[in-house]
Amino acid sequence: MTTTKTRDRLRIAIQKSGRMADVSQDLLARCGLKFRQSRDKLFCFGESMPIDLLLVRDDDIPGLIAQGVADLGIVGRNVLAEQTLAARANGEAAPGVELRPLNTSRCRLSIAVPQEMEYENPQQLQGLRIATSYPALLGDWLARNGVEAKVVFLAGSVEIAPRLGTADLICDLVSSGATLAANQLKEAVVLLDSEAVIAGPEEVPLDERGELRELLLRRIDGVIQVRESKLVMLHAARGAIETIRAILPNAQTPTLLPIEGSPDQVALQAVCYGAVTWTHLEDMKRAGASQLLVLPVEKILA
């Protein structure tokens, strides 16, 4: 693959397989993008818009952005932060910046210690061996806490290092915590809260790709907003509306409509940008609402 200085098609790098692969494909599909997958399955041609996909290892995504091979990438904040720190340590420019958090694929980069160890403070880690795939982030944390420990780099299966005797503790991603529990380890310190993000160069490309990038980011904003949004509909007496409005979670200004044959009753509809729980509904019912309906929202263009 060659990199040209100007291109009229935008390229997005996403994870080929793994946790974020489905999340990334799903997000782009919701943005209205359709792709034809090539035979080698590394490149997908965009059919609905001039936006193509590169299917790669997540660890390669920041580098592809840095080289200008990809214009955007969907990657874990953990990978982006690690490679940004590493680049800085080598006197190089950051490979890309976080353009949008995607509020999905959440995990933590944490130091985990053997279950029998009582962790109280960073100084306890002095002189110990810590296995990790994140040497830059770990090294940075150790330096900030004035701890001298030996960082043992492992590309994968970090959690078995203490059992194998190659390290005393680990610094790895934790999501459900099942991997730690299965290896008799427990989370001691969170170094970074991570989630999937859209990354790209800080500078917007000056050719057609610039506009495509802005258009896609706006659609992504809409998709994220819609994910948790609900349309709430209900009937209530005019006098109860103020109390009910105060209960609606993160609602935009509601629409009030008259109800045929019931002059003192109105129908209310409002989009809520957040979860609408059973408790919210019960509170509204107590405040005088009836005929409560909560509907999923499919698209928002404000």
Give yes or no for residue 105 binding ligand PRP (CB under 6 A). Answer: no
Give yes or no for residue 175 binding ligand PRP (CB under 6 A). Answer: yes
Give the nearest distance from C-beta 271 to ligand PRP in angstroms.
33
- Is residue 146 exposed (0-12), middle (13-18) or buried (19+ Cβ within 10 Å)? exposed
Per CB under 6 A, which region of 141-149, 174-182, 188-196, 240-248 contacts ligand PRP? 174-182
Give yes or no for residue 156 binding ligand PRP (CB under 6 A). Answer: yes
The footprint of ligand PRP on residues 14-53 (CB under 6 A) is: 19
Give yes or no for residue 179 binding ligand PRP (CB under 6 A). Answer: yes
- Of 1, 164, 178, 301, the one binding ligand PRP (CB under 6 A) is 178
Residue 28 or 185: the one with the smaller Cβ distance to ligand PRP is: 185
Give yes or no for residue 177 binding ligand PRP (CB under 6 A). Answer: yes
Residue 110 or 229: the one with the smaller Cβ distance to ligand PRP is: 110
Residue 156 or 165: the one with the smaller Cβ distance to ligand PRP is: 156
Give the nearest distance from C-beta 103 to ligand PRP in angstroms.
18
Give yes or no for residue 80 binding ligand PRP (CB under 6 A). Answer: no
Residue 208: beta bridge partners? none
Residue 147 or 154: the one with the smaller Cβ distance to ligand PRP is: 154
**Binding residues for ligand PRP, per CB under 6 A?**
19, 156, 159, 172-179
